Structure 1
Amino acid sequence: MRNSAFLTAVLGLVLVGCVQEDPLVDLRDYVAEIDSRPSGSIPPPPEFATFEFVSYTASGERSPFEAPRPVELETEEAEAPRSNVRPDPDRVPEFLESYRVENLTMVGTLAGLQEGDLWGLIRDGDGEIHRVQVGNYMGRNHGEIISISETQIDLIEIVPSGQDNWVERPRAIVLSGLDN
Protein backbone atom coordinates (compact mmCIF):
# COMPACT_ATOMS: atom_id res chain seq x y z
CA MET A 1 0.00 0.00 0.00
CA ARG A 2 2.82 2.24 0.68
CA ASN A 3 4.12 1.80 -2.79
CA SER A 4 0.80 2.62 -4.31
CA ALA A 5 0.49 5.80 -2.21
CA PHE A 6 3.97 6.80 -3.23
CA LEU A 7 3.24 6.07 -6.91
CA THR A 8 0.06 8.12 -6.78
CA ALA A 9 1.89 11.09 -5.28
CA VAL A 10 4.60 10.99 -7.96
CA LEU A 11 2.07 10.78 -10.79
CA GLY A 12 0.13 13.69 -9.30
CA LEU A 13 3.28 15.86 -9.21
CA VAL A 14 4.12 14.94 -12.83
CA LEU A 15 0.67 15.84 -13.98
CA VAL A 16 0.67 19.14 -12.12
CA GLY A 17 3.94 20.07 -13.82
CA CYS A 18 2.49 19.42 -17.32
CA VAL A 19 -0.56 21.62 -16.90
CA GLN A 20 -0.25 25.23 -18.15
CA GLU A 21 -1.65 28.08 -16.23
CA ASP A 22 -4.09 29.11 -19.01
CA PRO A 23 -4.77 26.76 -21.94
CA LEU A 24 -6.11 29.63 -24.13
CA VAL A 25 -3.12 31.93 -23.75
CA ASP A 26 -2.03 31.49 -27.43
CA LEU A 27 -5.51 32.35 -28.69
CA ARG A 28 -5.73 35.41 -26.44
CA ASP A 29 -2.31 36.61 -27.64
CA TYR A 30 -3.39 36.26 -31.30
CA VAL A 31 -6.65 38.15 -30.72
CA ALA A 32 -4.76 40.91 -28.89
CA GLU A 33 -2.35 41.22 -31.83
CA ILE A 34 -5.22 41.53 -34.32
CA ASP A 35 -6.96 44.12 -32.14
CA SER A 36 -3.78 46.19 -31.90
CA ARG A 37 -3.50 46.60 -35.69
CA PRO A 38 -4.80 49.88 -37.11
CA SER A 39 -8.36 49.50 -38.35
CA GLY A 40 -9.20 50.38 -41.94
CA SER A 41 -12.41 51.83 -43.26
CA ILE A 42 -14.84 49.83 -45.35
CA PRO A 43 -15.59 51.56 -48.64
CA PRO A 44 -19.23 52.56 -49.08
CA PRO A 45 -21.33 50.43 -51.43
CA PRO A 46 -21.52 51.69 -55.03
CA GLU A 47 -24.41 53.91 -55.93
CA PHE A 48 -26.77 52.42 -58.50
CA ALA A 49 -28.33 54.60 -61.13
CA THR A 50 -32.07 54.84 -60.88
CA PHE A 51 -33.98 54.26 -64.08
CA GLU A 52 -37.15 55.99 -65.08
CA PHE A 53 -40.17 53.68 -65.22
CA VAL A 54 -41.86 53.75 -68.62
CA SER A 55 -45.23 52.12 -69.12
CA TYR A 56 -45.99 50.45 -72.44
CA THR A 57 -48.80 52.33 -74.12
CA ALA A 58 -48.64 50.91 -77.64
CA SER A 59 -50.56 47.71 -76.93
CA GLY A 60 -53.16 48.61 -79.55
CA GLU A 61 -50.54 49.31 -82.24
CA ARG A 62 -48.98 46.97 -84.81
CA SER A 63 -46.65 44.36 -83.33
CA PRO A 64 -42.99 45.34 -83.82
CA PHE A 65 -42.32 41.78 -85.02
CA GLU A 66 -44.65 42.05 -88.03
CA ALA A 67 -43.67 43.72 -91.28
CA PRO A 68 -45.13 47.21 -91.62
CA ARG A 69 -48.02 47.56 -94.05
CA PRO A 70 -47.40 49.82 -97.05
CA VAL A 71 -49.32 53.08 -96.87
CA GLU A 72 -50.69 52.65 -100.38
CA LEU A 73 -52.21 49.29 -99.38
CA GLU A 74 -54.02 50.91 -96.44
CA THR A 75 -55.39 53.70 -98.62
CA GLU A 76 -56.48 51.19 -101.30
CA GLU A 77 -58.39 49.21 -98.68
CA ALA A 78 -60.01 52.38 -97.36
CA GLU A 79 -61.07 53.39 -100.87
CA ALA A 80 -61.96 49.86 -101.98
CA PRO A 81 -65.53 49.41 -103.10
CA ARG A 82 -67.66 46.95 -101.23
CA SER A 83 -67.15 43.46 -102.54
CA ASN A 84 -69.42 40.46 -102.73
CA VAL A 85 -66.71 38.18 -101.35
CA ARG A 86 -67.84 36.51 -98.14
CA PRO A 87 -66.91 33.29 -96.36
CA ASP A 88 -69.51 30.56 -96.61
CA PRO A 89 -71.18 30.41 -93.18
CA ASP A 90 -72.75 27.00 -93.95
CA ARG A 91 -69.46 25.26 -94.84
CA VAL A 92 -68.16 22.88 -92.15
CA PRO A 93 -64.67 24.06 -91.10
CA GLU A 94 -61.80 21.66 -91.79
CA PHE A 95 -59.27 20.63 -89.13
CA LEU A 96 -56.39 22.82 -90.36
CA GLU A 97 -58.60 25.91 -90.12
CA SER A 98 -58.08 25.84 -86.36
CA TYR A 99 -54.42 26.91 -86.89
CA ARG A 100 -52.96 30.21 -88.04
CA VAL A 101 -51.25 29.98 -91.43
CA GLU A 102 -48.02 31.15 -89.75
CA ASN A 103 -48.10 27.95 -87.65
CA LEU A 104 -48.49 25.64 -90.66
CA THR A 105 -45.40 24.35 -92.47
CA MET A 106 -45.13 22.56 -95.80
CA VAL A 107 -42.88 19.53 -95.36
CA GLY A 108 -43.28 17.76 -98.71
CA THR A 109 -45.58 16.40 -101.38
CA LEU A 110 -47.04 13.07 -102.46
CA ALA A 111 -47.79 12.19 -106.08
CA GLY A 112 -51.22 10.69 -106.70
CA LEU A 113 -52.11 7.80 -108.98
CA GLN A 114 -53.23 10.06 -111.81
CA GLU A 115 -50.94 12.38 -113.77
CA GLY A 116 -50.78 15.81 -112.15
CA ASP A 117 -52.48 14.64 -108.94
CA LEU A 118 -50.30 16.13 -106.18
CA TRP A 119 -50.95 16.16 -102.46
CA GLY A 120 -49.25 18.57 -100.08
CA LEU A 121 -47.93 17.53 -96.66
CA ILE A 122 -48.52 20.10 -93.93
CA ARG A 123 -47.17 20.06 -90.37
CA ASP A 124 -49.57 21.75 -87.97
CA GLY A 125 -48.63 23.72 -84.85
CA ASP A 126 -48.71 20.53 -82.76
CA GLY A 127 -46.20 18.70 -85.00
CA GLU A 128 -48.68 16.37 -86.74
CA ILE A 129 -48.51 15.87 -90.53
CA HIS A 130 -51.67 16.26 -92.67
CA ARG A 131 -52.28 15.56 -96.35
CA VAL A 132 -54.04 18.35 -98.30
CA GLN A 133 -55.13 18.83 -101.89
CA VAL A 134 -56.55 21.59 -104.05
CA GLY A 135 -59.91 22.67 -102.65
CA ASN A 136 -59.06 22.00 -98.99
CA TYR A 137 -59.14 24.86 -96.51
CA MET A 138 -56.57 25.83 -93.89
CA GLY A 139 -55.77 28.82 -91.70
CA ARG A 140 -58.13 30.94 -89.66
CA ASN A 141 -58.95 33.27 -92.54
CA HIS A 142 -60.90 30.78 -94.69
CA GLY A 143 -57.84 29.97 -96.84
CA GLU A 144 -58.74 27.75 -99.79
CA ILE A 145 -55.91 25.88 -101.52
CA ILE A 146 -55.86 26.82 -105.20
CA SER A 147 -52.64 25.10 -106.33
CA ILE A 148 -49.94 22.75 -105.08
CA SER A 149 -46.44 22.50 -106.57
CA GLU A 150 -43.31 20.65 -105.49
CA THR A 151 -42.11 23.69 -103.53
CA GLN A 152 -45.19 25.60 -102.35
CA ILE A 153 -48.91 25.61 -101.66
CA ASP A 154 -50.89 28.62 -102.86
CA LEU A 155 -54.14 29.61 -101.23
CA ILE A 156 -56.61 32.47 -101.24
CA GLU A 157 -57.75 33.79 -97.87
CA ILE A 158 -60.92 35.76 -97.25
CA VAL A 159 -60.10 38.42 -94.67
CA PRO A 160 -62.26 41.15 -93.18
CA SER A 161 -61.37 44.65 -94.38
CA GLY A 162 -63.63 46.48 -91.96
CA GLN A 163 -67.30 47.43 -91.70
CA ASP A 164 -68.67 44.07 -92.85
CA ASN A 165 -66.52 44.06 -96.00
CA TRP A 166 -64.30 41.15 -97.05
CA VAL A 167 -61.37 40.90 -99.48
CA GLU A 168 -59.45 38.02 -100.99
CA ARG A 169 -55.76 37.82 -100.17
CA PRO A 170 -53.30 35.45 -101.87
CA ARG A 171 -50.99 33.51 -99.57
CA ALA A 172 -48.26 30.92 -100.12
CA ILE A 173 -46.74 28.30 -97.84
CA VAL A 174 -43.24 27.50 -99.03
CA LEU A 175 -41.60 24.10 -98.55
CA SER A 176 -39.72 24.07 -95.25
CA GLY A 177 -36.05 24.81 -95.84
CA LEU A 178 -36.61 26.87 -99.01
CA ASP A 179 -37.85 30.01 -97.25
CA ASN A 180 -34.50 30.67 -95.52
Structure 2
Amino acid sequence: MIDIRTLTRAASLAGLLMLAGCGDGGVQEIKQWMDDVQRQTPVSIQKLAEPKKFVPFTYSGKEELDPYNPAKLSAALAKMQANSGNGIKPDLERRKEPLESYPLDSIKMVGTLEKPGLSYALLQVDKAVFQAKVGNYVGQNFGMITRITDTEVELTEIVRDAAGEWTERKAKLELQENKQ
Protein backbone atom coordinates (compact mmCIF):
# COMPACT_ATOMS: atom_id res chain seq x y z
CA MET A 1 0.00 0.00 0.00
CA ILE A 2 0.98 3.47 -0.48
CA ASP A 3 1.88 5.41 2.56
CA ILE A 4 0.28 8.82 3.07
CA ARG A 5 3.63 10.31 3.84
CA THR A 6 5.05 9.22 0.56
CA LEU A 7 2.03 10.58 -1.21
CA THR A 8 2.39 13.93 0.57
CA ARG A 9 6.07 14.13 -0.27
CA ALA A 10 5.41 13.39 -3.94
CA ALA A 11 2.73 16.10 -4.08
CA SER A 12 5.08 18.61 -2.42
CA LEU A 13 7.86 17.74 -4.78
CA ALA A 14 5.55 18.19 -7.79
CA GLY A 15 4.44 21.58 -6.48
CA LEU A 16 8.05 22.74 -6.05
CA LEU A 17 8.88 21.65 -9.57
CA MET A 18 5.94 23.63 -10.91
CA LEU A 19 7.01 26.72 -9.03
CA ALA A 20 10.55 26.35 -10.32
CA GLY A 21 9.21 26.28 -13.89
CA CYS A 22 7.37 29.54 -13.33
CA GLY A 23 10.56 31.52 -12.67
CA ASP A 24 11.86 33.83 -15.45
CA GLY A 25 15.25 32.05 -15.73
CA GLY A 26 17.10 35.22 -16.86
CA VAL A 27 14.58 36.15 -19.56
CA GLN A 28 13.84 39.46 -17.86
CA GLU A 29 17.46 40.55 -18.28
CA ILE A 30 17.41 39.78 -22.01
CA LYS A 31 14.15 41.72 -22.49
CA GLN A 32 15.62 44.73 -20.68
CA TRP A 33 18.81 44.60 -22.84
CA MET A 34 16.73 44.46 -26.05
CA ASP A 35 14.66 47.46 -24.92
CA ASP A 36 17.84 49.46 -24.17
CA VAL A 37 19.40 48.69 -27.55
CA GLN A 38 16.17 49.59 -29.35
CA ARG A 39 15.99 52.96 -27.58
CA GLN A 40 19.64 53.78 -28.30
CA THR A 41 19.64 52.83 -31.99
CA PRO A 42 18.71 55.81 -34.17
CA VAL A 43 16.12 55.20 -36.86
CA SER A 44 17.34 56.36 -40.28
CA ILE A 45 15.03 56.21 -43.26
CA GLN A 46 16.45 57.40 -46.55
CA LYS A 47 14.28 59.57 -48.72
CA LEU A 48 12.97 58.01 -51.88
CA ALA A 49 14.12 59.54 -55.16
CA GLU A 50 11.54 61.45 -57.11
CA PRO A 51 10.05 59.31 -59.86
CA LYS A 52 11.10 60.14 -63.40
CA LYS A 53 8.70 62.20 -65.39
CA PHE A 54 6.84 60.04 -67.91
CA VAL A 55 6.76 61.55 -71.37
CA PRO A 56 4.39 59.63 -73.63
CA PHE A 57 5.62 58.78 -77.15
CA THR A 58 3.32 59.57 -80.00
CA TYR A 59 3.73 57.18 -82.94
CA SER A 60 3.44 59.10 -86.17
CA GLY A 61 4.14 56.21 -88.56
CA LYS A 62 0.58 54.88 -88.74
CA GLU A 63 -0.02 56.44 -92.12
CA GLU A 64 3.38 55.46 -93.58
CA LEU A 65 4.08 52.29 -95.58
CA ASP A 66 4.88 49.19 -93.52
CA PRO A 67 8.68 48.64 -93.56
CA TYR A 68 8.16 44.89 -94.07
CA ASN A 69 5.82 45.31 -97.00
CA PRO A 70 7.10 43.22 -99.96
CA ALA A 71 6.44 46.09 -102.36
CA LYS A 72 8.68 48.40 -100.34
CA LEU A 73 11.43 45.78 -100.11
CA SER A 74 11.41 45.07 -103.84
CA ALA A 75 11.49 48.81 -104.59
CA ALA A 76 14.51 49.24 -102.32
CA LEU A 77 16.30 46.28 -103.96
CA ALA A 78 15.59 47.65 -107.42
CA LYS A 79 16.97 51.04 -106.37
CA MET A 80 20.14 49.40 -105.00
CA GLN A 81 20.66 47.44 -108.22
CA ALA A 82 20.10 50.57 -110.31
CA ASN A 83 22.74 52.41 -108.26
CA SER A 84 25.35 49.68 -108.76
CA GLY A 85 26.92 51.06 -111.90
CA ASN A 86 29.49 48.36 -112.74
CA GLY A 87 26.99 46.27 -114.76
CA ILE A 88 28.66 43.00 -113.83
CA LYS A 89 26.35 40.20 -112.84
CA PRO A 90 26.16 36.47 -113.53
CA ASP A 91 23.63 35.00 -115.92
CA LEU A 92 21.37 33.18 -113.48
CA GLU A 93 18.97 32.05 -116.23
CA ARG A 94 21.41 29.84 -118.17
CA ARG A 95 21.67 26.09 -117.68
CA LYS A 96 24.53 25.06 -115.36
CA GLU A 97 27.37 23.01 -116.77
CA PRO A 98 28.64 19.80 -115.06
CA LEU A 99 31.88 21.32 -113.74
CA GLU A 100 29.97 24.13 -111.96
CA SER A 101 28.80 21.77 -109.24
CA TYR A 102 32.35 21.33 -107.89
CA PRO A 103 34.43 23.86 -105.94
CA LEU A 104 37.40 25.19 -107.89
CA ASP A 105 39.95 23.77 -105.45
CA SER A 106 38.71 20.21 -106.10
CA ILE A 107 39.27 20.49 -109.88
CA LYS A 108 42.69 19.58 -111.31
CA MET A 109 44.09 20.29 -114.75
CA VAL A 110 45.65 17.04 -115.98
CA GLY A 111 46.41 17.93 -119.60
CA THR A 112 45.33 19.50 -122.87
CA LEU A 113 43.86 18.17 -126.08
CA GLU A 114 44.17 19.98 -129.40
CA LYS A 115 41.96 19.64 -132.42
CA PRO A 116 42.26 21.77 -135.54
CA GLY A 117 41.43 25.33 -134.50
CA LEU A 118 40.32 24.36 -130.98
CA SER A 119 42.10 23.40 -127.77
CA TYR A 120 40.55 21.65 -124.80
CA ALA A 121 41.71 21.47 -121.21
CA LEU A 122 41.41 18.08 -119.52
CA LEU A 123 40.01 18.70 -116.03
CA GLN A 124 39.75 15.97 -113.42
CA VAL A 125 37.28 15.81 -110.54
CA ASP A 126 37.57 12.73 -108.34
CA LYS A 127 38.13 9.96 -110.92
CA ALA A 128 36.23 11.59 -113.81
CA VAL A 129 37.99 13.62 -116.54
CA PHE A 130 36.11 16.35 -118.40
CA GLN A 131 36.96 18.27 -121.60
CA ALA A 132 36.54 22.04 -121.31
CA LYS A 133 37.09 24.77 -123.88
CA VAL A 134 37.22 28.57 -123.78
CA GLY A 135 33.77 29.86 -122.82
CA ASN A 136 32.85 26.87 -120.61
CA TYR A 137 31.98 27.48 -116.96
CA VAL A 138 33.95 25.88 -114.12
CA GLY A 139 33.61 26.09 -110.32
CA GLN A 140 30.87 27.39 -108.07
CA ASN A 141 31.61 31.11 -108.53
CA PHE A 142 30.40 31.48 -112.15
CA GLY A 143 33.97 30.99 -113.42
CA MET A 144 34.29 31.16 -117.22
CA ILE A 145 37.38 29.83 -119.00
CA THR A 146 39.07 32.70 -120.83
CA ARG A 147 42.35 31.10 -121.96
CA ILE A 148 43.89 27.63 -122.21
CA THR A 149 47.65 27.07 -122.47
CA ASP A 150 49.74 23.91 -122.17
CA THR A 151 50.35 24.56 -118.47
CA GLU A 152 47.29 26.40 -117.16
CA VAL A 153 43.63 27.34 -117.54
CA GLU A 154 42.74 30.97 -116.85
CA LEU A 155 39.29 31.80 -115.48
CA THR A 156 37.28 34.90 -114.75
CA GLU A 157 34.95 34.38 -111.77
CA ILE A 158 32.03 36.61 -110.79
CA VAL A 159 31.71 36.95 -107.00
CA ARG A 160 30.10 39.33 -104.53
CA ASP A 161 32.35 41.77 -102.71
CA ALA A 162 31.91 43.00 -99.13
CA ALA A 163 29.33 45.59 -100.23
CA GLY A 164 27.24 42.93 -101.98
CA GLU A 165 28.17 44.13 -105.49
CA TRP A 166 29.13 41.67 -108.22
CA THR A 167 32.79 41.89 -109.22
CA GLU A 168 35.19 39.91 -111.39
CA ARG A 169 38.30 38.13 -110.17
CA LYS A 170 40.92 36.12 -111.99
CA ALA A 171 41.73 32.50 -111.12
CA LYS A 172 43.99 29.78 -112.56
CA LEU A 173 44.09 26.02 -112.69
CA GLU A 174 47.67 24.86 -113.19
CA LEU A 175 48.74 21.59 -114.73
CA GLN A 176 49.11 18.84 -112.10
CA GLU A 177 51.90 16.51 -113.12
CA ASN A 178 52.00 13.01 -111.69
CA LYS A 179 55.21 12.47 -109.76
CA GLN A 180 56.04 8.77 -109.68
TM-score normalised by length of structure 2: 0.50
TM-score normalised by length of structure 1: 0.50
Larger radius of gyration: 2
